[in-house]
Amino acid sequence: MARVVVNVMPKPEILDPQGKAVTGALKRMGHEGFSVRQGKRFEIEVEGDLTPARLEEVRQYAEAVLANTVIENFEVVSQ
């Protein structure tokens, strides 16, 4: 059983209202000097061996399904 992580983050040039809300909340709580961006983390258990073909399959559906590549960047990390 192999594990792959897909991280999906809003592109730097895209407004991130969730991150802005967290940054503002931290400031109001007295935590100064932090800038937060919020994205998604997918932990994927892969049955069987993680062959290069299987990893490429993950990359393809990460691009097609897990991320909205108009506004988000993604990375695939095998562990």
Provide the 8-state DSSP code for 70: T
Question: Which residue matches tokens 């932090």?
Answer: 34
Q: Is 35 in the site for its own copies (CB under 8 A)?
A: yes
| Binding of its own copies by 44 (CB under 8 A) | yes
Residue 59, interface with its own copies (CB under 8 A)? no
Residues touching its own copies, count (CB under 8 A): 30
First to last CA, the chain: 11
According to CB under 8 A, which one of 11, 14, 27, 40 is a site residue for its own copies?
40
What is the chain's length? 79
Distances (CA, A) of 69 to 43, 56, 72, 73: 19, 17, 5, 6
The only residue of 14, 61, 69, 78 in contact with its own copies, by rule CB under 8 A: 61
List of residues contacting its own copies (CB under 8 A): 7-9, 19, 22, 25-26, 29, 31, 33-48, 57-58, 61, 65-66
